[in-house]
Every structure is written in C-alpha cells, then in structure tokens.
A and B are shown apart, each in its own frame.
Chain A
Amino acid sequence: MARYGMALDYKNCINCKACEVACKEENGVLLGADKHRIWVGVKEIEGEFPLLSIASNTFMPSQCQHCEHAPCQEVCPTHATHYDENGVVRVDPDKCILCSYCMNACPYDARYVDDRTMTVDKCNFCSDTRLARGETTTACQATCPTKVRIFGDLDDPNSEISQVLRDREHFSLKPHLGTKPKLFYLI
C-alpha cells in the first residue's frame, strides 16, 4: 500500500512536451488534441515589445490531481471512478456508463472520452502499465529532460517526493475547493 503523489518543479519546464508524447505512447492514448491525460499549459508573454514581461511566460505541466476528496469519485453513479489501493483515482471501464458527470465535476478538466471503449479516461499514474510491470516511475517522469516531475509514495518519509515536499514550498491547484490534490507545484 502506498499513497502516490507527484511534485512538479514546474519552473524547470521547457515546454518540450516530451511528457505528453511519452504518456500517449506508454498508455496508448489516442491521437488528437482533445485526447490527453496530461498537458503542458502555456501562458503567452504579456506586454508589447520591448516591454515584454518575461516573468509572465510560464509553462504549467498538469494532469489529474489524484485528489484525496475527488469530486469525480463522489459523483460517479456506478463506482466506476474509484480509489485504488494506492490512493490513485482510477476508472473501471466495465462500470463506466459515460454519463460524463465526472467530466463536469472535475475542477481540473482532467478527463476525456476514450473513443475505443467509449468510457471516460484519465491519468492513473501509469498504474496499469509501468507500475503494473513493477517499475517505480511514470512515463512522463522518466522522459522529462529537466527533471520537472518527482513521483513517489507520500507515506514513505524517505521517498524523494516526501523529502522535497519537506524542503521546498509548494502549492496545489484550487485548494479552496477542498479536494486535497496529490499533485504539488514546487515554488
């Protein structure tokens, strides 16, 4: 039993999108702009030349926040969305009825429809691919050239993620909603 989370040293992101590609490759996510489990958000540079705000130009990698109080899990009428033994929020495609309620309930826009199964899909920290094979990293983490992502067990005090969360300030997205995300953005 673990309690998996991910820390993102997002200021190191160079927007190469290798993580998006690796995720699609590893998990067999269909091609297409709206079919993605993870993404890198780009904020355009503000201001007009020569008064450009370099600081405003940020890249923000993101994905399912694997909330401890996941709204998508609460609203699922058939328990298709559930927490697995490692606290990962997952979808059981056999039980998913594609009512799309979870897509509406997710505050992070982290869900999309997989056209092959016609069920809702999302990031599951590579649980049925890499973790199932006994590996300890996710595809997005393993491929990142600037080491933005740190994945690991939040319950293990000696894990890299636990150490970095102890050492560095961090924030999570939309904390006011009480979802308790397990994705942490390092400042």
Chain B
Amino acid sequence: MDLQKIIPYRKMSLKELLVPENKLMALIAIVLTALFFIGVIIYLIHGHHAYGVTREHPWGLLIAMYIFFVVSSTGLCIVGSFGDVFGFKDYMAVSKRAIFGSIITILSGFAVIAFEIGHPITMMIYNVLSPGLTSAIWWMGTLYGIYLTFMVIEFIFLMRNDMKNAKIFGLFGLLVGLAAHSNLGGVFGFLNARVVANGVFYPTYFILTAFITGIYLIFLMYGYKYRGKPFPEDVTKALINFMKIQGLLLAILMFFETWKMLTGVYGGMPERADVIMHILHTKSFWLGEVMCGMVIPFLLILKSKGTAIKSMVWASFIGMIGIFYMRYDLVHDAQLFPMQTLKIREYQLPPSFVDYFPSSTEMMIGFGGIGICLILYFLGTKLFDLDSMPEHH
C-alpha cells in the first residue's frame, strides 16, 4: 500500500529527515528525550519507588505533565478549529499546524502517563471489558482515545486538502476533545473528599486555560518558524486576532481566579479556606501562575493593543511556564489537605499540609515528554506541508 496515497508527505531520505534545522533546538530535544528514556529505565527497575509520590499524595509531577500536554492538545484543537471547522478564513493559515500540534502534544501526554499508570496494558483491556461508567477517569481516557482518532483522521484530510471531510472530523474531534477535557477537570471536580477541588470550577477552568494554552503555543510555533524574519501576511492576521482573543481570555481567567480565591477564603470553610490561604502564601502561585501565566502576557497585550506579535512569542514562552505551574499546582493543591493527619477525627487543625516534591526520575520522565513532543514536531514539520492554504488548491 502506498502511504503517499493515504496521507501526502514529502519524500526524503532518512539522512535528510534527521538533519536538524536548528542545532540548539535539536540538542535540547535530544537531551530531554534521552532523559525521558533514562527516567523510564529507572522506573522500570524501581517502579513507583522511584517517584516522590506517597500514600497521602499519590499524584505527582507526571499527572501534572499529562494534564499540561492534554491541555495543550485541546487548546491547539480549539485554535485549529477556527479555520478548518468554523471556516473563519483569517485563521485558516494556522489550522494545519495547530491540528498537527494537537496530535503530537496528546501523544506526548500519553507517553508520560503510561509511566504513571501502574498497569497501562491492563487499563486498555479492562477499560473495554469492565468499564467504570461512574468514573471521570474512564470517560476522560476513553474520550481522549476517540479524540485522538478523530484528530488523526482530520489531519489526514487536511493534508489531502479535503476540507469538507476535515471539517466533519474536526467538528467531532473538537466536541469529543472538549468533553474529554472537561472530564479531566471532573476528575478533580467530582472529588468530594477534596474540598478545594470539588465543584464546577475545574471542568470549566480547564477549557478556558486550554484555549489560552493553545494560543500561547501557536505563537511559539510560528515565533520559532519565523525567528529573525517577519511573519507572512496571513499568519500576521491570524496572530493579531488570536492575541486580542488572548487578552479577553486572560481577563476572564483572572476574574475566575479572583473569585475562586475570594469564595475560598470568605466564610472560612474548613479545609477549603485553609488550603486557599496556603496557596495564597506560595511563590509558585504568585510568580508562576499569576505573573508568568497571566499578568505578563496580559500587560503586553494591553500595552500593544494586541499588535506586538513578535514580543508575544516571548510572552507566550513565559505564559507556558505559568501554564505549567497552573497544572502542577492544581494537582498538588488538591492533595494538600491531609485526609486524617494523626488519623484523628476530622475538623481538628492539621499540624501540617502534605509535602510533595518530584523525584529526579519524575522530572526526567515529565520534562522529558517535552523532548518527545519537540522531536515529533520537527519530524512533522519536515514530513508534512503545514503551511499551504487549503483554499488555494
């Protein structure tokens, strides 16, 4: 079977494929990927003992990185859908790259989570044979599997410039992706034992921050591609529009966060108020989430009235650091309050919050996932034409 007939790609020798376009980025990608595999080997030898997770804090950096990647994927899917699903011509220029990005980010997420889930093969078997329909993890995992299938089919149609079919599969992919991603928020939102996470906040917040992440990433991808060069006209138009949308989204996010914190502290509800006060005293919240994730990019957007798209590339890099802290903090914060410290009756003040710091193995696998994502991206940009405008064909 000729693969070229299924999905058009550029034919090249292996040597051409592997020659790096930028040596520094290639080095970063290779080092991170090597760390990923070293981490995996350590994990395969020592199991979860290689991680910093404990009985009281069973989820750690790898869950945070998985969320980081799937948020990125959903976000790029939303960003890509503007052009090829909803048919807004101004955004069409970035659709192919965004949809490709959504595929590789979720694959990187799956690569990371495969080494956090203790029995991934058992999961695939019993997800089908014995589905736990009341479990948000079941829905999230299953829907993400379907989502990935739709996104791959959409991408194939995009590469073939079959916009009609790309639109159909893109729409289904988007809807399933949104459902999957809000279910990921539900994984935390359904936990009535974890008062700070319980409720409607996370399922909606995940969709909002996914959109924000998607826009940061589209700036990073184009900023890298056109480094030291001006953006082409069609990309400029899309990026200026996205930058303005980003301003609105960041404003909404800051509004949401403000009310989350106010409602958390006000009234002093046991457990929730304690945890929120603790969060409000951490640098990772103020410097990571607030400054990097929201304020710095927001101020740039305000100052330039949404036109400084070259500076926005750097602001997006800072923004992605903030997005990482958002993911890490939400996993950590949900588990901060000890369920029964000293194993005593509830509602007695805990002597301390639950401690957690990722082990070196977790860092290697978690951040190494970024290396896998980068390598897939560079291979993709060589193999596929991610720039041609479909309506020109």
Chain A residues in the interface with B (C-beta under 8 A): 34, 39-43, 58, 60, 62, 71, 74-80, 94-101, 103-109, 111-113, 115, 118-119, 173-174, 177-178
Contacts and interface: CB of A to CB of B under 8 A. Distances in A.
B130 A78 contact: yes
A75 B136 contact: yes
Contacts of B141: 77
B343 A74 contact: no
Interface of B: 47-49, 53-56, 58-59, 117-120, 122-123, 126-127, 130-132, 134-138, 141, 187, 190-194, 334-335, 338-340, 342-346, 348
A3 to B, nearest CB: 21
Given A106-B193, A119-B118, A95 B126 contact: yes
Contact of A177 (B55, B119, B122, B192): B192
Contacts of A41: 340, 342-344
Contact of B192 (A71, A95, A101): A71
Contacts, number: 130
22 contacts: A62-B343, A74-B135, A78-B122, A78-B131, A79-B126, A79-B130, A80-B126, A97-B117, A97-B122, A98-B48, A98-B118, A100-B58, A100-B59, A101-B137, A101-B187, A103-B55, A104-B191, A104-B334, A107-B339, A113-B55, A113-B118, A119-B118
B342 A43 contact: yes
Contacts of A112: 55
Contact of B130 (A62, A95, A173): A95
A99 B137 CA distance: 9
Main secondary structure of the interface of A (DSSP, over half): loop
Contacts of B192: 71, 107, 177-178
A98 B53 CA distance: 13
Contact of A106 (B119, B339, B346): B339
Contacts of B49: 115
Given A98-B119, A107-B339, A113-B48, A78 B127 contact: yes
A111 B126 CA distance: 21
A61 to B, nearest CB: 9
Given A99-B137, A118-B118, 12 more contacts: A34-B55, A77-B127, A77-B137, A78-B130, A79-B130, A97-B120, A98-B117, A99-B118, A100-B58, A109-B338, A111-B55, A112-B55
